[in-house]
Amino acid sequence: MKINTVLYGSAKVTDVSEDKIFETINRVVLLRIKTMILKNLGKEDVFAFKEVVKKNDPKLFFDFAYKRIPHLADKIHSEIRQLSLELQKTQ
């Protein structure tokens, strides 16, 4: 028996609907983060933005965004919190 079975055996998700909820949250979060990043870029960043997107490497893209946008981590979390509040209001 491997340790990961012991440690993570209970993590198995069987409810398909729960998966759908998580997947959708994931997609929404990602879309909003991408939008927020675009809104924080200036016209002068467009060329570099296009170049890095063409490389189709999320890691490179993220490095780029983190360098260009000050306090990106704070902004991302602000976005996440906002989304969380919106979800609460609708339920």
Reported as type and span, the H/E element at residue 29 is helix 16-39
64 touches other proteins by CB under 8 A: no
Cβ–Cβ under 8 Å, residues 79 and 40? no
Cβ–Cβ under 8 Å, residues 52 and 60? yes
Question: What CA–CA distances, in Å, run from 47 to 44, 51, 53, 57, 59?
Answer: 7, 6, 10, 16, 18
Cβ–Cβ under 8 Å, residues 4 and 33? no
48 touches other proteins by CB under 8 A: no
Instruction: Please work out the total of residues on this chain that contact other proteins, with binding judged by CB under 8 A.
Output: 56
* Options 14, 18, 48, 64; binder of other proteins; rule CB under 8 A: 18
50 touches other proteins by CB under 8 A: yes
Site of interaction with other proteins (CB under 8 A): 1-4, 6-8, 10-11, 13, 17-18, 20-22, 24-35, 38-39, 41, 43, 46, 49-50, 53-54, 56, 58-59, 61-62, 66, 72-74, 76-77, 80-81, 83-84, 86-88, 90-91
